[in-house]
Structures are given as structure tokens and as C-alpha cells.
Amino acid sequence: MGSGEQGRVRAEPVADPDNRYGVREERLLTGATVITAVRTVASVVLAAVAAHQESLTLLVVALVVYWVGDMLDGFYARVRDCETRIGAVLDIMCDRLNAAAFYIGLAWLQPDLSPAIFVYLAEFMVVDCFLSIAFLAWPVRSPNYFFVVDRPIWLWNWSKPAKAVNSALFAVLLLVTGWMWVGLAIASALLVLKCVSLHRLVRIGLPVPRADG
């Protein structure tokens, strides 16, 4: 990132009024990370049992546990003022495990949906995952504060509407309609959007820390 770009980043709204870039003491064990761990284990176990029993209802329950837990851990972290970069990375990784458990279970139960499901998994588990952990290259607490670095990328990926489209729209559409081709179109559109975001991120450039010594 050039000096002009760095100056622009510093002029943006900060993530934490008590710390210029929102970085604070890091710790693994917080109330939020405990919620993340519990919802992850619960959702994965439910998805596994759903696949074993061939129960779509139980699989939907696993998805609801994942979504509710994902909202709850973020809400708790903000309200209790315990947001950390470690917690953000743990949340990102657990989201992928929960999503994989649900969608692989759905593909197992409804194999005709597999083309759409696996395009979505490629988007969410590879491209979106890389975008989500890219915040670590800057001193911000999580992707939720990426507007400090680049507002368009944040709008496309981590604003509330963007999160809803990326996580909820695809799953709800498949479950309610069973329209594989529409699901495939949505998954493909999301993949294109993530690739555009990745291209913009590469153009910005990820800062590389200088080696000491």
C-alpha cells in the first residue's frame, strides 16, 4: 500500500475510540469464544445426526443453531467489550466448519442440489475465507471494521446486507424452493463478487511487516 493510501486509512473512522485502530490485549478465552465453541460443536453434531438419520428437519435445526450462535457470539463480544482478533479468526474458521457440515449434509440428503452447493462451498470456504482473514494484515479487530481499510470491500462483504445475502439467501432459497439452477446462479454470482473483491484487495496490497534486526 502506498503512502497516500495509508494516509487515507488513518483518516477513516476508527474501530475503537480507546485505541486508534481497535487492537487491544489478545486472549483466546472470552465469553464470546466460548459461545463460538458451543454453537460450533452443537451445530456439527446435529448435522452429523441429521445425515445419519436422513432427517432434513434436524439438518435445518443445525443450520438455525449455527446462525443464532453466530449472531449471539458477535453480539456478546460487542456488548461485553471483548472483541479480539483471535476471536474473529476462530469465528471465521468455525463458520466454515458449520457451513460445510450443513451443506454436505444437504447434498447427502438432496443430491440434485449438489452442483449449486459445491459452487457455493468453493466461494465461501476458499475465496471468502481468504478475504475474511485478510484483515489480519492491518491493525483492526475483525472484518467488521474493514471499512477502515477499504469501504467498497467492506460494503460488498461485511455490511449487514452483504452478510445476509452471503449466508442466508442461498440456504433459504434452496430449502424453500429446491431450485438447483437458481441456487447455482446465486452461488456463481457470489463467487464472481468475491473474486472482484479479491482483485480489489490485491490491487490495494497486503502490508508485510518488516523483519526486526
Question: pLDDT truncated to tens, each residue of the chain (213 aa)?
Answer: 443 343 344 433 344 444 444 445 677 778 889 999 999 999 999 999 999 999 999 999 999 999 999 999 989 888 888 788 999 999 999 999 999 999 999 999 999 999 999 999 999 999 999 999 999 999 888 999 999 999 999 999 999 999 988 888 899 999 999 999 999 999 999 999 999 999 999 999 888 666 554
Q: What is each CA distance from 66 to 42, 45, 198, 210, in whole angstroms?
A: 8, 11, 26, 39
Angle at 107 between CA 192 and CA 158, to 5 degrees: 35
- Nearest of 130, 132, 115 to residue 182 by alpha carbon: 115
pTM: 0.84
| Percent of the residues in the chain that have a pLDDT greater than 70, as a whole number | 85
Q: What are the grid coordinates assigned to 170, written together?
A: 442461498
Closest listed residue to residue 42, CA positions, set 30, 34, 53: 34
| pLDDT tens sequence across 131-183 | 999 999 998 889 999 999 999 999 999 999 999 888 888 999 999 999 999 99
Among the listed residues 46, 98, 51, the one whose alpha carbon sits nearest the alpha carbon of residue 71 = 98
Closest-CA residue to 35 (of 62, 81, 66): 66
- Name every residue whose Cβ is closer than 8 Å to that of residue 66 and which is 6 or more positions away in sequence: 39, 40, 43, 95, 98, 99, 102
Count of other CB atoms within 10 angstroms of residue 205: 11
> Do 119 and 191 form a contact (C-beta atoms < 8 A)?
yes
Which domains are assigned to the chain? 3-204 (1.20.120)
